[in-house]
Amino acid sequence: MSNNLTYELKEFLKSGKLSNYEIKAYLAMLEFNDLTAKEISQKSRVPAGRIYEVLEELKIKGLIEIQESRPKKYRKIHPNKALYNLISHFADENRKRMTYLTNQAKNLESQLKNSKLFTKEDSSRIFWSTAFGWKSVFDLYLKKFSEMQEELLMTGFIDNNTIKILHFAKPFYLGIKRLIDRGISVKYLWCFDHDQRAISEDLKIKNETLYDKLMKRFKELYDFTPNPNLEVKFIHNRIPTYFDILDKRRIIIKLQDPLQPHRIFSALNVLDPNLARELRNKFFEIWLFVANEGNISL
């Protein structure tokens, strides 16, 4: 291996948070097949008292494998596969760390909110908050829209009152339009508020007619024009919980008004990348499943 390539490989392994001993042991193994721990210690000059710990770390990070012989022998994994394994390990550790820090931050945020350690100030919760009433819900969305940079996935429900109340949501939909104009990808999945039982062909036709009317009303009210950043679809059935995902890390869960189900009663705002990833996968399961059921661009 050339000196230049060895240097670049060392720098890469350092970036992957390998210790000096781990780097020495791995580089020593690249030139040989199936070595014992004692042989690796001698060739890499890693102290014998540390070599087993070092080799175990290299195994965890996906750079080597262990042969259960007597004595145990250690084999390098092909470098291109090993480097991929290291990146995967690093990404997984980062996800775990992010989940841990997010959960800790949520807990601390609640404690700090009620703490007497600091001067009381008006501040918005970042990790967890609830909005009640349509005005508070709209204010929550518009604030979060202003912070967005990448993607908005939305779910909404349709019933016979949806078109009638559409004009009350003007600030909300103009906020979405501004997102689209800024180049942010928006996918909007409308669901008819029925149960999960089989739907008759007559009801499907009725749904499609209502959906067409809804889209036309949208164009009239908010002047949405065809845009590659906006996709709209519908599904005949409902989904159990209506939610929106902002930039793959924030979720807004919407609760319907029990007295007026065509309205949103409250919204739960949660910053949780792990939950957002799981819900995003669920969203796209439905989105791709209904690819041919209803697909109209505004």
pLDDT in tens, 58-75: 999 999 998 888 888 999
Q: Which of 59-63, 96-100, 204-208 has the lowest mean pLDDT?
A: 96-100
Neighbours of 221 (CB within 10 A): 15
Output 244 or 221, whichever has higher pLDDT: 244
Q: CA angle, corner 181, sides to 175 and 186, nearest 5?
A: 70
Helix (H, G, I), strand (E, B) or coil at 212: helix
Which secondary structure element, helix H or strand E, spans residue 271, and what is its range? Answer: strand 264-271
Q: CA angle, corner 273, sides to 101 and 149, nearest 5?
A: 115
**Which pLDDT belongs to residue 15?**
82
Write phi, then psi, for 98 (nearest 5 degrees). -65, -40
Output 189 or 15, whichever has higher pLDDT: 189
Q: Which of 13-27, 257-271, 272-286 has the lowest mean pLDDT?
A: 257-271
Output 227 or 37, whichever has higher pLDDT: 37
Output 238 or 53, whichever has higher pLDDT: 53
User: What does the pLDDT average to over 83-109?
Assistant: 75
Its pTM stands at 0.59
Which of the four pLDDT bands, split at 50, 70 and 90, describes residue 1?
low
**Which pLDDT belongs to residue 40?**
94
Cβ-based neighbours of 143, under 8 Å, separated by 6 or more: 124
Which of the four pLDDT bands, split at 50, 70 and 90, describes residue 197?
low
Cα separation values, 111 from 35, 114, 117, 125, 140, Å:
54, 5, 10, 12, 22
- CA pair distance 247, 152, nearest whole angstrom: 6
Q: What is the mean pLDDT of the chain?
A: 82
**Which pLDDT belongs to residue 291?**
56
Residue with tokens 């999945």: 189
**Which pLDDT belongs to residue 114?**
63
User: What does the pLDDT average to over 87-116?
Assistant: 70
CATH numbers and ranges of domains, the chain: 1-120 (1.10.10.10), 128-289 (3.30.870.10)
- CA pair distance 2, 259, nearest whole angstrom: 74
- CA pair distance 157, 255, nearest whole angstrom: 11
Q: What percent of the chain has pLDDT over 90?
A: 28
